[in-house]
């Protein structure tokens, strides 16, 4: 028990000390306030994340407390956390140091729009998968930990999926593939 506490206390201190500012901001060209945390959205004003109803919820993630649902791409099964609210999307995968090979996080959008994500306070390298309104992949970008360069979608998205870096290449996931959740 002492070993577990010694491991968790520094992590908890980081989480509690982290500043939380709005993640979903004005279009990038018009942004003039403090840097925002989590996904950087470019395009029309944010209208909020899409609702993923409880009928789809399979369990709760032990670290984030977010609902976990099944998701499939090219026949491969993933278990993904759903970041539904603005606060959940602001937090995303920040400060996380591990994620299973078949895990990820889904950021649904209430209304389709162009978005861009960045990696502020994100320790894990990621593949960011932009999903269009037809639930087909528009584009995939490789994201480097802590890099604040906006990584844009190729068009309006209905959701964004974050997976471990290199996972899309391993599974031959590519633009045009259908994403089912």
Cα–Cα distance for residue pair 59/162, rounded to 1 Å:
19
Tally Cβ neighbours within 10 Å of residue 85.
Answer: 12
Residue 90 Cα distances to 2, 22, 26, 85, 147, angstroms: 32, 7, 14, 9, 16
Taking the whole predicted model, whether its pTM rises above 0.85 is answered as: no
Average confidence (pLDDT) over 116-130: 97
Contact in structure between 136 and 98 (CB atoms under 8 Å): no
Give the pLDDT band (50/70/90) at residue 58.
Answer: low
Evaluate if residue 177 carries a pLDDT over 50.
yes
Evaluate if residue 45 carries a pLDDT over 90.
no
Q: What is the mean pLDDT of the chain?
A: 78
Evaluate if residue 52 carries a pLDDT over 70.
no
Evaluate if residue 34 carries a pLDDT over 80.
no
Domains of the chain with bracketed CATH: 22-180 (2.60.120.1140)
Evaluate if residue 57 carries a pLDDT over 80.
no
pLDDT at 122: 97
Cα–Cα distance for residue pair 67/146, rounded to 1 Å:
25
pLDDT at 25: 31
Cα–Cα distance for residue pair 109/150, rounded to 1 Å:
18
């Amino acid at each position: 028990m002492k070993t577990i506490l010694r491991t968790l206390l520094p992590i908890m201190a980081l989480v509690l000390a982290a500043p939380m500012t709005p993640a979903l901001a004005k279009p990038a060209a018009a942004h003039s306030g403090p840097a925002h945390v989590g996904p950087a959205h470019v395009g029309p004003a944010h209208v909020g994340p899409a609702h993923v109803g409880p009928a789809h919820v399979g369990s709760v993630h032990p670290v984030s407390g977010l609902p976990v649902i099944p998701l499939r791409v090219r026949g491969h099964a993933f278990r993904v956390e759903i970041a539904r609210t603005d606060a959940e999307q602001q937090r995303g995968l920040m400060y996380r140091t591990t994620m299973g090979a078949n895990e990820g996080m889904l950021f649904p959008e209430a209304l389709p729009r162009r978005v861009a994500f960045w990696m502020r306070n994100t320790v894990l390298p990621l593949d960011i998968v932009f999903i269009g309104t037809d639930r087909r992949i528009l584009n995939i970008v490789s994201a480097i930990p802590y890099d604040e360069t906006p990584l844009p979608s190729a068009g309006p998205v209905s959701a964004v999926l974050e997976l471990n870096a290199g996972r899309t290449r391993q599974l031959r996931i590519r633009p045009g593939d259908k994403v089912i959740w």
